[in-house]
Amino acid sequence: MKKLCKFCKSDLGKPFLDLKNQPLCNNFVNIENSQLKDELYPLEVFFCSNCKLVQLAHEINPEKIFNNYSYLSSYSQTWIEHAKKFSQKVIEKFNLNNNSFVVEIASNDGYLLTNFVQKNIPCIGIEPAKNIAEISESKGIKTIDDFFTLFLSQEIVRNFGKADLIISNNVYAHAPNIKDFTYGVKNLLKENGIWTIEVPYLKSLIENNQFDTIYHEHYFYFSVISLNSIMNSNELKIYDIEKLESHGGSLRLYITHKNNNSIAENHIVFKFIQDEKNEGFERINTYTDFNYKVNFVRTKLTDLLHSLKKDGKTISGYGAPGKGNTLLNFCNIDSTLINFTVDKNPLKQNTLLPGSRIPVYPLEKLKEKKPDYVIILPWNLKREIMEEISFIKSWGGKFIIPIPNPQII
């Protein structure tokens, strides 16, 4: 059966990358259920030659993924600081005050909107994971426990009015019905309102071998070319872009209504598009070549771990991020190679990673077991993590960084 593009409905042809059948990356397993088999789903990546959108074709009901979620933004100090700086910037840039209205889509545990509440700026969060929406509400943040859709945006407009600023950081790729999501934003946005989005950048993913950032929650992998196509078709315009270091390389895009003549497009938007064209991001060969780089990382990492185990070394992990589970399962790494991993998030502690069945413990386990090597699975936070657990050096412990090129530090 043909696979069709989720945006333009063109035939996608064959995948350029197959990361095998994998479990949902945040379906952590209770220890008492360790004998139960994981539900596996294809993790194949396609390039649409028509609209240039890179995407997964296999679709899983979002409620299966997000209704009870384990990711909490507040457990990364780096991310908290990132959110604080962003909030301060947009409050000043757009002169937000107690007469403004801010909406964050996928507000998680309220880590970002807290900064607006402290300034008495009216805001609401939208968070489909009930358990996490409750955490946000406990912080005094009005939170709607639902998925963002055009229908929900119409309800918000009726009850609260239109928004001066809509924030959707690291959620646009999570919305399988990207047209409905975009219609919803357009409907909710004031005539001169601003929509900011942050997305991991496809160019960084390709250039730095970040294949582990591909998992079932992320339906899309964006270039500026593909984002520009989506916005144009919805009478919206990208008017400015910032390159960020977060998630191994991301973009922050500023978007408004196409007929908002008070805001002109920055030349940097055209530069991004031209650079992507020059570097082949409109051609399938760019993506098929990526497949070879992915397999090189898999071979090098597994060879390294097997060699260390053969020498009698003990290996643990740090973190239990979604990207880590893609990496481990694609590379067939399990608890025979990595004895355990640790994570600060209590929702993940004392569980097993999906697929690999590696146990997850609190950080204290590192001091108890004193592993020879710690592989940092959230490699995008390696500086923060290496400083946090620098105590492993007291027993001669070393770090393994898996991406973009496996290395020991």
Residue range 249-270, pLDDT digits in tens: 899 999 999 999 999 999 999 9
pLDDT over 90 at 76, yes or no: no
Q: Where are the beta strands (DSSP E) in 271-362?
A: 315-318, 341-342, 351-352, 359-361
- Computed over every residue of the chain, the mean pLDDT equals 93
Q: Name the least confident of 14-18, 67-71, 86-90, 141-145.
A: 67-71
Nearest Cα to Cα of residue 186 among 240, 118, 259, 245: 259
Residue of 75 and 159 predicted with greater confidence: 159
Half-sphere exposure of 178 (CA within 13 A, CB side): 26
**Averaged over 171-195, what is the pLDDT?**
96
CA distance 377 to 211: 13
pTM (2 d.p.): 0.90
Residue 392 is predicted with a pLDDT of 98
pLDDT over 60 at 74, yes or no: no
H/E segment holding residue 124: strand 123-126
Nearest Cα to Cα of residue 345 among 370, 379, 320: 320
**Averaged over 306-323, what is the pLDDT?**
97
The number of helix segments (H) and strand segments (E) in the chain equals 13, 19
CA distance 321 to 136: 21
Q: Rg (Cα) of the chain, in Å, rounded?
A: 21
Residue 132 is predicted with a pLDDT of 87
Residue range 83-95, pLDDT digits in tens: 899 999 999 999 9
